[in-house]
Amino acid sequence: MHACRRPYGLLAAVGAAALFVTLGASARGSSGGHREPAGRIAVEGDGDVIVVNARNGRKRQVAVIVESAPAWSPNGRALAYAGDGALRTLALASGHERSIARLGDRFTVGAAWSPDGTRLAFAVHGAYSDTARLTVVARDGSRTRTLDPKAESYQVPQWSPLGRRIAYLRNAPDGTSAIWVVSPDGGRPRLLRLGVLDYWNSLSWSPDGARIAFVGRPDGLRTGTALMVAAADGKQLRTVAAVWGDPDQATVGNVRWSPTGGRIAFLRWGQDAATDDALCVVDPQRGRERTLVRAPNLDDVAWSPDGRWLAYLTENPVSASGLPFSLWVVRADGSGRHRLAQLRERSESLAWGPNN
């Protein structure tokens, strides 16, 4: 499988801790009667995880030697991440860290919690192998189960909202990328949809589980790709956003369905140094797309739990501050954009959890 990914590596080398500078509320502008952001945003960068209060920008380092994207438990009380040869969970209140699955010399790009918070799914890759094991483990480290030994994508597996299926990418019999689904309790994986492109973080279920969004190449479209939506059985395919450019180079990714179901957020990446990246939202029913932000080197996007805000990471313009990267939030209608924190090191993944 040709893994078409963001040009920056996800696995950060362990180094100096990322330095965050909290910015004042003056950057936010008038709230205009809108609800302010709430909850906590976990950011991975340079081998650390920092948790930032989404309302006031206060932050604290919670983990080091981290080598994957962080993931919040459904109740917002724990984080999961990989590091130092294991998949780990961290209880935020107590600071207790638990190793729940040994990785050895293999790695994972991140885990996903089941909707009820009792299990985690992740793909385990070898350093020199194109295949991976799709694995499920209980949150206490027991009952480890391999669901598919032939997963072939650097994607975080995606649980359906009711927890009955896990979607992931794997090669079809003809060698092309495809969406597959499997029960978390085992059984034979089932091919759901062909015509899929293995772009970075490009799978997302609708919150009702009735549809799945992905990046693909529509029939008859040779020079571009598209953000597409299919029914949960793989049928009723429709294109919701055209994505022009070389399909062998990642042009779109970080596809995130909003918690309320009305919009899909995604990143469009510029194909040259002169073109900024864009954070976009699209109505999957009407196909109405809106660009919320244009900026250089956008990395990752996450919805707030209430679906009113989006967080994203970006590179700053050259400035005297010496801090080249930032964590930003913006309302889903494009208003209220403000910077929560500046970062010394590049951060490529974030997750927004409730404020527990």
**What pLDDT shows up at residue 1?**
40
Classify residue 195: in a domain, yes or no: yes
Over range 218-247, report the average pLDDT: 79
Tell me if 154 sits within 8 A of 168, measured CB to CB: no
Q: Which of 107, 110, 90, 106 is nearest to 98 (CA)?
A: 90
Q: What confidence tens digit (pLDDT) does each residue in 286-295 have?
A: 889 999 999 8
Instruction: Centre a 10 Å sphere on the Cβ of residue 45 and count the other Cβ atoms it contains.
Output: 25
pTM above 0.75, yes or no: yes
Count of domains for the chain: 1
The CATH code of the domain that includes 251 is: 2.120.10.30
Enclosing domain of residue 248: 20-353
**What pLDDT shows up at residue 59?**
86
Query: What sign does the dihedral 289-292-298-300 (CA atoms) show?
Result: negative
Query: What sign does the dihedral 58-63-67-69 (CA atoms) show?
Result: negative
Classify residue 9: in a domain, yes or no: no
**What pLDDT shows up at residue 141?**
95
Q: How far apart are the first and last CA of the chain?
A: 40
**What pLDDT shows up at residue 197?**
87
Classify residue 234: in a domain, yes or no: yes
Q: Which of 189, 5, 205, 187 is nearest to 109 (CA)?
A: 5
DSSP E strands, 304-337: 309-315, 325-331
Classify residue 1: in a domain, yes or no: no
Residue percentage of the chain with pLDDT more than 90 = 60
Report the greatest alpha carbon distance in the chain. 57
**What pLDDT shows up at residue 79?**
98
Classify residue 5: in a domain, yes or no: no
**What pLDDT shows up at residue 319?**
56
Query: What sign does the dihedral 259-263-264-270 (CA atoms) show?
Result: negative
Over range 251-261, report the average pLDDT: 92
